[in-house]
């Protein structure tokens, strides 16, 4: 049986996240493979892949914060918000100084209401938004609450009438960096879109733990999978169980809450094995996902 655990992959530009999952399925010899948080084809960087039982962690990992490096091109826009779309010239932006760009980024920091890009995977009437957009009927998506903890402009570089801004963003799950680029361009009156996007961190997993697909292909001693218990301990608060508590939780039982955590907690047996993710609510800890037979 393939091991249960996580693979942190440094996704290259070009493949979709589904393409990466398909490649890992072939390498691992199992169909029980999934990913936490989609990356667009042009984007690179951290893609967290779950194998076997670890696929049950992925929905909870998706909700963690993320960090990106990106380049926003000001002075034009596209219908997708990134370099894969059709470019529409905007107002020349080369005259903008870094202070103006930083002010626009600051206005998009904190809890904000963000309108997702029309070319996105959000479902509208049972169909993906990007499908409707490709058919010439892009939907008007309602704004959604997201949090941008930091939006830092590192440098600006003129390129003719355009201005490229190198930025770093730390944000909540569900934040579209393409939408931040679009909204920055609209605020500055120039238009804006992404020319580069690299995810550097998902929750506790960053590029220092990531492997390229070529490295995985050449691995001689099996895939470098982060074991299930270690992966859960890195991502969630830990609760140590007694033998009796571990047996009860393994059979779907509830335990008294002990710490008042608002998010998932990883519950471990005395031998260190992961029993379940639990959610504390109403004075009880109920299992969200159980990982033992």
Residues known to be catalytic = 40
Residue labelled with tokens 């995977």: 121
Alpha-carbon gap, residue 104 to 111, rounded angstroms: 15
Other Cβ atoms within 10 Å of 288 Cβ, number: 15
CA 272 to chain CA centroid, Å, is 28
Cα dihedral value 221, 223, 228, 232, nearest 10:
120
């Amino acid at each position: 049986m393939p091991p249960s655990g996580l693979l942190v992959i440094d996704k290259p530009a070009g493949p979709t996240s589904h393409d990466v999952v398909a490649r890992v399925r072939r390498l691992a010899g199992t169909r029980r493979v999934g990913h936490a948080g989609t990356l667009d084809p042009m984007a690179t960087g951290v893609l967290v892949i779950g194998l076997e039982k670890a696929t049950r962690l992925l929905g909870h990992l998706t909700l963690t914060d993320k960090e990106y490096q990106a380049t926003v091109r000001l002075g034009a826009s596209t219908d997708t918000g990134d370099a894969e779309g059709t470019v529409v010239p905007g107002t020349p932006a080369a005259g903008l100084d870094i202070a103006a760009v930083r002010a626009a980024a600051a206005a998009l920091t904190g809890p904000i209401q963000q309108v997702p890009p029309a070319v996105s995977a959000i479902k509208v009437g049972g169909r993906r938004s990007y499908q409707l957009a490709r058919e010439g009927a892009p939907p008007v998506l309602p704004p959604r609450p997201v949090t941008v903890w930091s939006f830092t402009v590192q440098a600006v570089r003129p390129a003719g009438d355009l201005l490229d801004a190198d930025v770093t963003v730390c944000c909540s799950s569900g934040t579209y960096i393409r939408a931040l680029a679009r909204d920055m361009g609209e605020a500055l009156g120039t238009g804006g879109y992404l020319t580069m996007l690299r995810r550097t961190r998902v929750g506790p997993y960053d590029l220092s733990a990531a492997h390229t697909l070529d490295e995985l292909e050449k691995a001689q001693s099996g895939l470098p999978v982060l074991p299930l218990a270690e992966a859960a301990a890195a991502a969630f608060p830990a609760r140590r169980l007694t033998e009796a508590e571990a047996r009860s939780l393994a059979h779907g039982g509830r335990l008294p809450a002990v710490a008042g955590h608002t998010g998932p907690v990883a519950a471990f047996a005395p031998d260190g094995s992961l029993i379940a993710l639990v959610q504390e609510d109403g004075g009880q800890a109920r299992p969200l996902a159980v990982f033992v037979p």
